[in-house]
Amino acid sequence: MSTRSQLLFAKATELMPGGVSSPARAFKGVGGDPLVFERGSGPFIFDANGKKYTDYVLSWGPLILGHAYPSVIESILQAARNGTSFGATCPLEIELAELVIELIPSIEQVRFVSSGTEATMSALRLARGFTGRDKVIKFEGGFHGHSDMLLAKGGSALATLGVPDSAGVPKQTAQNTLTAIYNDIASVRALFEANPAQIAAIIIEPIAGNMGFVRPQDGFLQSLRDLCDAHGALLIFDEVITGFRVALQGAQTLFGVTPDITCLGKVIGGGMPVGAYGARREIMAHVAPLGPVYQAGTLSGNPVSMASGVATLKALKERKVFEDISRLTTRLVEGISKAAAAHNIAMQLDHEGTVFGIYFLKEPGRISDFESAKKLNDTVRYARFFHDMATKGHYFAPSSFEAGFMSAAHTDEVIDHTLEAVNQVFAHWRE
C-alpha cells in the first residue's frame, strides 16, 4: 500500500516536471521516491506520513537557526501584516543592508535580489560592465545558479543527473565562459595567457559546496587574487553557501582574501527567497540607476523577506551562537569519522564552521577537485547510507555531491542520537 507521501509525490509528477521545483530534490543521486515534507520544528523535519527526521539539509543551508525559529517567524508575520510588497524601498531593506555591510568587510554597497542565481548572474553582468570585457572564468564542478553563462561544467544537481551542460544554452553564450580546474592555479594562469585583456572576472565558491565539500588548498585563493590584479580582472566570491556559514563574516575573512564582488544567498534570507551582491562603491556605482549596468526585480527587497533576513542575522550576531553550531558540526563529523574507522569504511569527511561534507571512497585518494570527486566518490554507498539513515529518522542530503548543514537548534543529545544511528548502520553493513 502506498504511503501518503508516495501518493502526494505521484500527484506532483503529473503537475510538475519530475514532481519537483528543483532537480536537487528529485533523489536522482540516491534513488527511490522523494519525500514530501509538511512541517519543520527546530532541528527536525516531518514528512507527509508524520515521520520525524533530524534534518541536516536545512533547506540546503538557509535555516542556520533551525526550522520555525520564533523571532524569525514573528518578524515575518509582523512584516506581512503591514503589507507583503511595496515595489519601493522599505525600512527593513535598509536595516538588512546595514547588517550585511557591517558583517562582510569587502561590501560597501549592496543590491538585494530574490535568489542566489540572480545574485551571481547580476555580479557577472556588473563585472563585464565594469571592465568592458566579455569572458569569465569558472571552475569545473562549481555551481553558481542556472543562468545561461554559468551552466558550463557545473556541479550540484548537474553532477547528480550526469548532465555536463544544459540544453537551451546558446553556444555563443557558453563561448564566453572559460572553465578551470579547482585548486589548480596553473589552469587559471593558462586561461589568462590564452585570452589576454579579455577576461572580466573569476567567479568561485571559496569553499566548493556543489561537488560535495572541497576546501581550497593553501595559497590558492590568494593566487587567484594576484592573477586578477595582474590582469585587470575582478575576483567574485560566490558565498551563497559559505556566507555567514563557514564564518560569521564569510569565507573571505576565514582565508584573508578580499574579493571585488561578493554574492550572498541562503542564510541572508533565513528561509525566505533573498539573494544579494555587493562590492566597493566604485564598482557598485556602475549599477542602475547610478550607472549603465541594468538589473531589476519586482519583489527584490520586499519587506517580508527582509524581515526574515534581519531577524536571522541579528540572532547570529547578538546571541553569538556561531561557535556552538560549529562545535556541534565538529562533533558530528568526528563522530562519523570514528565510526567509519571502527568499521573499516573508507571515507573523506571535512567541515568548516557550520558546513560539512561526506564522501565514501571507491579507492584510496584525496578529493580536491571535480574530476577527483567524480572518480573517487562512491555514490552507490552514499545512496545506501542516505536511505539507511532516513529509515532511522535522520535526513542527509539526497546527493553525494551536496554539502550538509548544522543549525543552532541541534543539540548534543540530537548529535548523540544521530551518531548512534551511524554506528548501527555501519555495523549492519559488516554483517
- What average pLDDT values come out for the chain (431 residues) when binned by 10 residues? 88 92 88 94 97 98 98 98 96 98 97 96 97 96 78 52 60 83 97 97 96 95 98 98 96 97 97 97 98 95 98 90 95 98 96 97 94 95 97 96 97 98 95 70
pLDDT at 163: 46
> What is the rounded distance in angstroms from the CA atom of residue 388 to the CA atom of residue 393?
9
Say if CB 234 and CB 262 are below 8 A apart: no
Q: What angle do CA 247, 250, 256 make, to 5 degrees?
A: 95
Closest CA to 410 of 57, 46, 17: 57
Q: What is the structure's pLDDT at 1?
A: 67
Helical axes 379-391 vs 412-430, angle rounded to 10° = 120
Give me 389's grid cell. 539513515
- Residue 253 CA to residue 326 CA, distance in Å, equals 16
List the domains of the chain with CATH numbers. 4-68+320-430 (3.90.1150.10), 70-318 (3.40.640.10)
Location of C-alpha cell 548501527: 424
Answer for the pair 148, 120: CB distance below 8 angstroms, yes or no. Answer: no
256: left (phi over 0), alpha (psi -120 to 50) or beta: left
**Grid cell for residue 197:** 585583456
CB 145, CB 116: distance < 8 Å: yes
Q: Which amino acid is at 396?
A: F
pLDDT at 146: 75
Q: CA–CA separation, 4 vs 373, rounded Å?
A: 36
**Residue 130 and residue 408: Cα distance in Å, rounded?**
40
**What distance in Å separates the CA atoms of residue 376 and residue 359, rounded to the nearest whole number?**
9
pTM comes to: 0.94
Please give the distance of CA 310 from its chain centroid, rounded to a whole number. Answer: 19
Query: Cα–Cα distance between 358 and 57 in angstroms, integer?
Result: 13
Secondary-structure breakdown of the chain: helix, strand, coil percentages, each rounded to the nearest 5:
45, 15, 40
Q: What is the largest CA-CA distance in the chain?
A: 67
Between the alpha carbon of residue 255 and those of residues 217, 246, 247, 333, 352, the distances in Å are: 11, 11, 10, 21, 12
Task: List all residues 6 or more positions away from 251 whose beta carbon is below 8 Å from its beta carbon.
Answer: 206, 207, 237, 239, 242, 243
DSSP one-letter code for 184: -
DSSP one-letter string for 36-68: -EEEEEBTEEEETT--EEEESSGGGTT-TT-BT
Neighbours of 10 (CB within 10 A): 12
Pick from 350, 347, 327, 329: nearest CA to 339: 347
Reply yes or no: is the peptide bond before residue 273 cis, omega within 30 of 0: no
Side chain identity at 367, as an amino acid letter? I
Tell me how many helices (H) and strands (E) the chain has. Answer: 15, 14
Q: Using the structure block, give the residue that is written with the C-alpha cell 549603465.
A: 292
